[in-house]
Structure 1
Amino acid sequence: MISRPDYNSLTDALAKADAELVASEAHGSLCGMLCAAGTIELSKWLDQVFEVFDVNNILIKEASQLLVGLYNDTQAQLNDSEADFQLLLPDDTDSLAQRTEALASWCQGFTYGLVAGGLKKDQKLPEDTAELIKDMVEIARAGHDLGDDSESDEESFMQIYEYVRMGVLLINEELQPSHKPPEILQ
């Protein structure tokens, strides 16, 4: 089985393949589609990532191989009872500005993915889910001023990251209750 790619490898492959989405946005869109639809065909997601999915284009083929690993890993993580789900973002060694931009792109992709996965604008949602989606729309607009990154900026980023991570798990649980592990009868 193909494993989850690292952020930089996927970013490079998508750029070379002239993809419509950057790595973080592609992962966000996949997560949104999965939360909205429960399951999606790999090809439906790839159609979102690439304007034209040309199977004869070697650069698209190479990027797609990495995306297959991300697709498989993300499905497993979203349905893992251990809540080991991780957003695909730059490493902690990258600048806070890069990570903030990637998190904003991730949230943009997620909200787009919800719609692409079938969530309707006027659909009645659980209160927590509606609030989280609204917050992700706001986070998608986030930016970070270049300059000295303070420890409090780093701490704020980590809190927002964790909020988004746990929010995705809650949204998935509320929109896809059939994926919850079965209750053990005593």
Structure 2
Amino acid sequence: MSIQEDSLDFSLISDLFLAHGSLQSPSFLDGRLCAQIALTDLSPEAWLDEVCSALGVDEPSDRDAAAQLLEWRKRTEERLSASELGYEPLIPDDIYSISEQAQGLKDWCLGFCEVLSEVEHDIRDQWPSALKEALEDVNTLCGIETDLDNTAENENDLFALTEHARMAAMLLYTQQHPGQPDVEQVDENDPEVTRH
């Protein structure tokens, strides 16, 4: 079975998790995946082991499931390293309620920050202030309010917060992978990136 890249979304991964008998949040694992790819060389085997451990299974249920889980990792790595800056956190989309979307963002941030918490302090100290501030903002989002009404204002706020987390993830990746992608020109005039 071939996997269309655009079909690999929150709903598909959630269904895959349910098929393995797990209610684990794909967003939490996506946050971990993103941070690990940014910080280390996460092999496909190590990723499969981590997902299976989170799902409480020894291995994926079949080859299609394994292929989808590996595609998830591959797509994340490709989008973090692409010059188009196309990475998007795997959180519930607009077919879900604002509360569910907010919970997804919170879960993503918790997973992302869990990996960051394992980084040595001397490495963190060498990071530029813009990155430290962005990562501190993601840490703050771990406490985001999720009991939200479906209003346009909440939707706009959530979009802005998700964009903030997305930019922090890409800042971390570019810091750890200089020149890959070469986005200095793109970021130069971005107030989110250059603020002091």
TM-score class, shorter? 0.7 to 0.9
Residue in structure 2 matched with residue 22 of structure 1 by the alignment: 25
**Contact 2:20–2:57 (8 Å) recurs in 1:** no
Q: 1:177 aligns to what SS in structure 2?
A: coil
1:26 alignment partner AA: L
Amino acid at match of 2:133: E
The residue number in structure 2 matching 1:128 is 130
1:54 and 2:58 aligned: yes
Residues 141 and 15 of structure 1: CA distance in aligned 2, closer, same or farther (over 3 Å)? farther
Q: Is the aligned partner of 1:98 residue 2:100?
A: yes
Instruction: Return 22-31 or 119-128, whichever deviates more.
Output: 119-128
Match of 2:187 in 1: none
CA deviation profile, 1:81-140 (whole Å, cap 9, x unmatched): 011111111121210000000011111111223356xx2245322212222222212212
Normalised by the length of structure 1, the TM-score is 0.82
CA displacement 1:4-41 (0-9 Å, x = unmatched): 4221111121133245842111111111001111x210
Contact 1:17 1:63 in 2 (8 A): no
Q: What TM-score results when the alignment is normalised by the length of structure 2?
A: 0.78
Q: Residues 182 and 166 from structure 1, CA distance in 2 versus in 1: closer, same or farther, beyond 3 angstroms?
A: closer
Q: Quick one: which amino acid aligns to residue 71 of structure 1?
A: R
Kept after mapping to 1: 8 A contact 2:138/2:165: yes
Equivalent pair of 1:107/1:136 in contact (CA under 8 Å): yes
Contact preservation (8 Å) 2:28, 2:110: yes
Q: Which residue of 2 aligns with 1:69?
A: 71
Alignment of 1:165 with 2:166, yes or no, is yes
Q: Which structure is richer in relative contact order (CA contacts within 8 A, separation 6 or more)? A: 1
1:131 is aligned with what amino acid? E
Cα drift, residue 48 of structure 1:
2.4
Determine the C-alpha separation between the residues in 2 that align with 1:140 and 1:43. 28
Alignment correspondent of 1:88: 90
Partners of 1:54 and 1:27 lie apart in 2 by: 20
> How many residues are paired up?
177
The 4+ residue runs of structure 1 with deviation greater than 6 A are none
Structure 2 CA distance for partners of 1:62 and 1:34, relative to 1, 3 Å: same
Partner of 2:11: 8
User: CA RMSD, aligned part only?
Assistant: 2.5
CA distance in 2, matches of 1:50, 1:58: 10
Question: Unmatched 5+ residue regions in structure 2?
Answer: 185-196
Q: How does 1:135-174 map to 2 (within 5 A)?
A: 135-146=137-148, 148-174=149-175
